[in-house]
Amino acid sequence: MIPFVKDFRPDVGPFYILVVAFFIVGMSNAVNLTDGLDGLAIGCSIIAGIAFAVIAYASGRVDFSDYLRIPYVPGSGELSIFCAALVGGSLGFLWYNCFPAQIFMGDTGSLTLGGMLGLIALIVKQELLMVIIGGIFVVEAVSVLVQKFFYKMTKRRVFR
């Protein structure tokens, strides 16, 4: 779904399950790859959680969704409570994860966090907006892929 364009929704037909699986796995791995620096993944997740709390609330109201030209998703207003809980838990974690980090999220936390963000974006039908809001996740994942591919091909590093 293209953000703020209510009437345009490309039909992927029988490939929808593959697109959903690719999106959730991609977001999970993108957040996991971003979790190398103290507070980076959790800070970006807080921003994305706040943004999607507002979007979920607006999507759950007919008047707001019609005015903003976003799809109306019945019951998605309650998803903003889930987003608020996600942000609250993330703020508590951020206190101990900022420099110098006393705890580390690890794969379990970062994969779960990415999966939840991807699922929220799918429920409110704003997949492309997740790529924009979580741009740091996407740029980090693309950077890692380019560096790995370049090293495999040339046996040299992109950044020294």
- pLDDT, tens only, 90-124: 999 999 988 887 888 889 999 999 999 999 999 99
Stated pTM of the model: 0.88
Domain count, the chain: 1
Domain-embedded: residue 48: yes
Domain-embedded: residue 160: no
Domain-embedded: residue 49: yes
Q: What is the mean pLDDT of residues 24-45?
A: 91
Domain-embedded: residue 142: yes
Domain-embedded: residue 141: yes
For the record, the structure tokens of 17 come out as: 């399950």
d(CA 91, CA 75): 26
pLDDT at 77 over 60: yes
Domain-embedded: residue 6: no
Q: What sign has the CA pseudo-torsion 47, 49, 54, 58?
A: positive
Residue type, 35: D
Domain-embedded: residue 109: yes
Domain-embedded: residue 108: yes
pLDDT at 5 over 90: no
Given this model, what pLDDT does residue 7 score? 67
For the record, the structure tokens of 143 come out as: 């950077």
d(CA 2, CA 142): 21
Between vectors from CA 76 to CA 78 and to CA 89, what angle results, nearest 5°?
A: 50
Range of the domain at 106: 13-154
